[in-house]
A and B are shown apart, each in its own frame.
Chain A
Amino acid sequence: MIAIDDYRRVAPPGAVDMLLRLAERARGRRLLHLSGGRFGGGSAEMLHTLVPMMADLGLEATWEITGGDPGYYATVSALRAAVDGAERVLTDEALDHYVEMNRLNAKKIALDADLVLAHDVPPITLIEHRGAQGRWVWVCHSDASGAQRRAWTFLRPSVNQFDAAVFSLPKFGRRLGIPRYVIAPSIDPLSEKNRDLTSREVATVVRSLGVAQDRPILLQVAPLTPAEDPLGVVNAYRLVRKHYNVRLVLAGTSDADGESREMLAELREAASHDDGITVLELPPDAHLQINALQRAATIVLQKSVHEGFGLGAAEAMWKSKPVVGGFAGGLTQQIVYDVTGYTVHSVEGAAFRLRHLLNNPELIARMGAAGREHVRRSFLVTRHLTDYMALLIHLTR
Chain B
Amino acid sequence: MTTPAPFQFTGCVEVRQALDHRARDERELLDRLEDVPAGSVFYHTHGYFLRHRPVTTAYGNDFAAWVAVHVRDQVLAERLAVINPFEIASLEDLREELMSTIHDHLLRLSTVPRVEFGEVFHFQQSHIVEVPLGAPVTTLAEFRAGLSEVDASAVYFHMVEARSRLGRRSGDFAEWIRDALTMPALAERIERIDAYMTNLERVRARVLSLLDSALEESPA
Contact = CB atoms under 8 A, between A and B. Distances in A.
Interface of A: 12-15, 17-18, 21-22, 25, 167, 170-171, 173, 175, 179-183, 327, 332, 336-337, 339, 345, 370, 373-374, 376-378, 386-387, 389-391, 393-394
21 contacts: A12-B151, A14-B133, A14-B149, A14-B150, A14-B152, A15-B151, A17-B133, A21-B133, A22-B13, A22-B131, A25-B131, A170-B122, A182-B124, A327-B117, A336-B55, A378-B54, A387-B15, A390-B14, A390-B15, A390-B129, A391-B15
Given A17-B151, A18-B13, A175-B20, 7 more contacts: A22-B131, A167-B18, A181-B16, A182-B16, A370-B54, A377-B53, A390-B129
Closest 10 CB pairs of A and B: A14-B151, A170-B122, A170-B18, A390-B13, A182-B16, A390-B129, A180-B18, A377-B54, A394-B15, A21-B131
A179 B17 contact: yes
A181 B117 CA distance: 26
A17 B118 CA distance: 38
B55 A370 contact: yes
A144 to B, nearest CB: 12
Contacts of A179: 17
Contact of B124 (A21, A25, A170): A170
Contacts of A175: 20
B17 A180 contact: yes
Contact of B129 (A12, A345, A376, A394): A394
A18 B131 contact: yes
Contacts of A182: 16-18, 124
B171 interface: no
Contacts of B129: 22, 390, 393-394
A386 B50 CA distance: 15
B83 to A, nearest CB: 23
A339 B65 CA distance: 15
Contact of A373 (B54, B120, B134, B150): B54
